[in-house]
């Protein structure tokens, strides 16, 4: 009863593709907010954004 089930998205977790790991892209292109990540321990809903920089 101590833990409550929630999604990674509800915890604020998101994945950003195509940009430096440590810096958020200033030209971010919003992706899916309910992307399904498949892992050995189950299915997880995460938010996903993409780099929108012109030099890519």
Share of the chain above pLDDT 70, in %: 95
Predicted pLDDT at 40: 95
pLDDT (tens digit, 9 = 90+) per residue, 29-49? 888 778 888 999 888 888 888
E strand or H helix that includes residue 48: strand 42-50
Q: What is the pTM of this model?
A: 0.61
Range of the domain at 47: 1-56
Helix runs in 1-56, H state only: none
Cite the beta strand spans of the chain per DSSP E.
14-17, 29-30, 35-39, 42-50
Is the per-residue pLDDT at 56 higher than 60? no
Which residues, including other chains, have CB under 8 Å from residue 6's CB and lie 6 or more apart?
none
How many other CB atoms are found less than 10 A from the CB of residue 23?
8
Under 8 Å between Cβ of 16 and 31: no
Predicted pLDDT at 55: 64
Predicted pLDDT at 26: 86
Structural domains in the chain (count): 1
């Amino acid at each position: 009863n101590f833990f409550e089930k929630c999604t990674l998205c509800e915890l604020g977790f998101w994945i950003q593709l195509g940009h430096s790991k440590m810096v958020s892209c200033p030209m971010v292109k919003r992706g899916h907010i309910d992307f399904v990540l498949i892992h050995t321990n189950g299915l997880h809903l995460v938010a996903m954004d993409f780099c929108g920089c012109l030099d890519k």
